[in-house]
Amino acid sequence: MTADPAAGYPADLLELAETYLQQLDFRADPRAATLAEAMRYSLLAGGKRIRPVLTLATARSRGADPRAVLPAACALELIHTYSLIHDDLPAIDDDTLRRGRPTCHVAYGEDVAILAGDGLFAEAFRLLLTCQQGEPEPVLAAVTEISRATGVQGMVGGQYMDIAGAAADDDDLRTLHALKTGRLIEAAVVCGALLTGADDVASYRAYAAELGLLFQIVDDILDETGAAAELGKSVGKDRAQDKVTYVSRFGMERAAQLADQAEARARHLLRSLPGSAPDLLAVTAYIHRRRR
Binding site for a second copy (CB under 8 A): 26-29, 31-32, 34-36, 39, 86, 89, 91-92, 109-112, 114-115, 117-119, 121-123, 125-126, 129-130, 136-137, 139-140, 143-144, 146-148, 150-157, 159-161, 163-164, 166, 172, 175-176, 179
Nearer to a second copy, 120 or 235 (CB): 120
Cα–Cα–Cα angle for 151, 154, 157, nearest 5°?
A: 80
Nearer to a second copy, 123 or 263 (CB): 123
3-state secondary structure of 168: coil
Nearer to a second copy, 113 or 218 (CB): 113
CB of 132 to a second copy, least distance (A): 10
Nearer to a second copy, 34 or 203 (CB): 34
Return the C-alpha torsion angle 50, 56, 62, 65, nearest 10.
-160
DSSP-assigned beta bridge partners for residue 98: 101
Nearer to a second copy, 34 or 261 (CB): 34
**Amino acid of residue 24:** L
> Using CA atoms, how far apart are residues 31 and 19, in angstroms rounded to an integer?
26
CB of 35 to a second copy, least distance (A): 4
E runs forming strands in the chain: 97-98, 101-102
CB of 172 to a second copy, least distance (A): 6
> Using CA atoms, how far apart are residues 257 and 247, in angstroms rounded to an integer?
11
CB of 71 to a second copy, least distance (A): 12
CB of 192 to a second copy, least distance (A): 19
> Using CA atoms, how far apart are residues 89 and 109, in angstroms rounded to an integer?
10
For residue 3, CA distances in Å to 38, 224, 276, 285 come to 36, 21, 25, 12
DSSP-assigned beta bridge partners for residue 129: none
Nearer to a second copy, 153 or 276 (CB): 153
CB of 97 to a second copy, least distance (A): 19
> Using CA atoms, how far apart are residues 82 and 235, in angstroms rounded to an integer?
21
